[in-house]
Amino acid sequence: MMAYLVLILIAPSYNSFAYEGRGIQTYFTAPARFREILIAKNLVTVAILLCEIVLCVALVGWRVGLPTTPVLFATLAAIVFSIVGQLTIANWASLSYPRKIEFGKMQGQRNSGMSVLILLGMQILFGGVSGLVLVSGRWSGNPWLPAEAFAVLAAAALGGYFSSLDSFTQLAEKKKEILIDALCR
């Protein structure tokens, strides 16, 4: 269930301006900074993911019972690490490789090739890092090691996310014409 949540539901964030169309122009004229726009878009994604995660945890807890405390904390910290880390990269991909998608049209709608490649690479990278942390916990025999490692990684991901927002605001201003051209055609 967690693989579904992280692999499938985070994918639209890699092209978060796909459905904006001419509305992208209002982002540059609004009194809000692009930082707040990115935070708002990411909060919607996190809210959807949080609802799905709560539902999945409830279903798994009901059917097989909750895991041990170290496993539960490791899973929650890994979810924070993975979601926040991917949202940071997704913000960059959304600004660097925008692609317009028309709402309601199914045929011929695809994300940018680079966005899909970045998404695949990040899924492999985050899965590999998570796998190494879990294997190191198993190898060391310390059940709390994955929870501690994921907590450190989650804190680093959160710090990276908030520190990158101002850079993404500058990137959006620099690529304003490219964004408007790509999404308003």
CB 77 within 8 A of CB 53: no
Cβ neighbours for 164, distance < 8 A, ≥ 6 positions apart: 88, 91, 92
List pLDDT tens digits, range 95-128: 888 776 665 555 555 566 677 788 888 888 988 9
Q: Can you give the pTM of this predicted structure?
A: 0.84
Please say whether the dihedral angle defined by the alpha carbons of residues 104, 48, 122 and 97, taken in this order, is positive or negative: positive
CB 83 within 8 A of CB 46: yes
List pLDDT tens digits, range 59-96: 988 999 888 999 999 989 999 999 999 999 988 888 88
